[in-house]
Amino acid sequence: MNPVHAGIIGIVLLIVILFSRFPVAFCMALVGLLGFGYLVSPQAALNIIAKDFYTVFSSYGLTVVPLFVFMGQILFYAGISRKLYDAAHAWLGQYKGGLAMATVGACASFSAICGSTNATAATMATVALPEMRRFKYRDELATGVVAAGGSLGILIPPSVIFIVYGIMTEQSIGKLFMAGILPGILLSALFILTIYIWVTLSPKMAPRTEKQSFKKKIRALTGLIEVIILFVLVMGGLFLGIFTPTEAGAVGALGGLVIPLVRRQLTWQGFLQAIYSSTLTTCMIFMIVAGATVFGHFLAVTTIPSVLSAWVVELPLPPWAIMIVVMFFFFLGGCFMDALGMILLTIPIFFPVAVALGYDPIWFGVVIVLVTELGVITPPVGINVYVVSGIAKDVPLEIIFKGALPFVLTLLAYLIIMIFFPQIALFLPSFAAY
């Protein structure tokens, strides 16, 4: 059997066992081990698996992950999410559909301390849903906006996906973070616009709520000053090249711990929960990366990535058309799989293609994140939708998917904009020192 055929069998086998509820990380490690053993030698495969796990676990680059995860967790357990929502509510609540808009605003700002979509969706579902329901918002709008807004978590820095993408493709994490800012703000604005159009077309979705006094608005903001300072310090230091990403993460984590301690908002229990869920998330991510590394070694010996990218470049199609096919593939995958697993699995295959087509690797990272955001709110496996339904147990899944649909359309339109205007992502990183 030639290596390419063995590779295709490996990929098919991987897809099959992925559906057996075997953790994604284990699937990749297992198929990688077997495939490498078959193509090279069993002894080489045995050597490489332990070495890969060790190298990934002790990688300095990946130490960013536990630090930023902890920063988000500790601020969450200190109740920052509530404050973010209250502030957004005070400023946007008076408009038609304002609570839904406030939810997008709160999601966007929570994304600035949190790097995952489901954590953002879960947090905002617990905070914003009861509020929207209290004001008689329709379920599809209320749940759809939380699911969609939560997807901002991986676009606005810090973002676990950007960290891992940066490490796998040897791109600067600082630049990737920077590349996520403008697209993130623009997408939040588009989500708000979507809500505006939606409630204008169908006013019964969202009754108007009363206007808050200016004093209340200012007071809502003052509760957030420290968090804003922390974000500016961490991201600013990273972009100016004062900190490495790991150092920025550590400063953020310590700051995230000190703020609620000074304000007496953190219990010992909350601290323990934050640190336990951080080690758990870290372990989950490190294992996926390790599994993907083993699988990536197998893919490399199958020569599929280079054969595929050589073939794609020869295709009589314009690069943007090939890009759309690649995106469609990511979208399909994202419908069935978790974002991180999907991205790690496909980067070794599609990253060389994107580079061969002459696309900027940073831009490609942003686009992949956008496609993944689509995946988390589309059926059948929209992870965010499941998260929201886990919290709003009385709302049927179909209603949430229906509610997320307008945002899916917005995201699709936005992807097309990104293909033709890559500057949206590449403008800020062009100033990055690091």
Contacts with other proteins, 339-368, as mask; x by CB under 8 A: -xx---------------------------
Q: Can you tell me which of 176, 250, 367, 415 binds other proteins, judged by CB under 8 A?
A: 250
Q: Is 282 a residue that touches other proteins (CB under 8 A)?
A: yes
Q: Is 37 a residue that touches other proteins (CB under 8 A)?
A: no
Closest to other proteins by CB, 28 vs 125, is: 28
Q: How far is the C-alpha of 140 from the C-alpha of 162, rounded, in Å?
A: 30
Q: Is 240 a residue that touches other proteins (CB under 8 A)?
A: no
The rounded Cα 52 to chain-centroid distance in angstroms is 25
Compute how many other C-beta atoms are within 10 angstroms of the C-beta atom of residue 175. 24
Nearest to 148 by CA among 397, 415, 413, 408: 408
For the record, the structure tokens of 401 come out as 């998917």
| 3 state DSSP class of 266 | coil
Q: Is 381 a residue that touches other proteins (CB under 8 A)?
A: yes
**Could you report how far apart the first and last alpha carbons of the chain are, in Å?**
46
List CB contacts of 324: < 8 A, sequence separation 6 or more: 419
Q: Is 33 a residue that touches other proteins (CB under 8 A)?
A: yes
Q: Is 116 a residue that touches other proteins (CB under 8 A)?
A: no
Q: Can you tell me which of 40, 190, 254, 324 binds other proteins, judged by CB under 8 A?
A: 254
Q: Is 276 a residue that touches other proteins (CB under 8 A)?
A: yes
Of the candidate spans 99-107, 200-208, 275-283, 355-363, the one that interacts with other proteins by CB under 8 A turns out to be 275-283
DSSP E strands, 257-346: none
Q: Is 26 a residue that touches other proteins (CB under 8 A)?
A: yes
Of the candidate spans 3-11, 16-24, 94-102, 363-371, the one that interacts with other proteins by CB under 8 A turns out to be 16-24
Q: Is 393 a residue that touches other proteins (CB under 8 A)?
A: no
Upstream peptide bond of 316 is cis (omega within 30 degrees of 0): no
Q: How far is the C-alpha of 413 from the C-alpha of 66, rounded, in Å?
A: 34
DSSP assigned state of 427 = T
Q: Is 260 a residue that touches other proteins (CB under 8 A)?
A: no
Q: Cα dihedral angle (115, 121, 123, 127), rounded to 10 degrees? A: 140
Provide, rounded to whole angstroms, the least separation between the CB of residue 103 and other proteins. 26
Longest Cα separation, the chain:
74
> What is the binding site for other proteins (CB under 8 A)?
17-26, 29-30, 33, 46-47, 49-51, 53-54, 57-60, 62-63, 66-67, 70, 242-243, 246-247, 249-251, 253-254, 257, 272, 275-276, 278-284, 286-288, 336-338, 340-341, 380-381
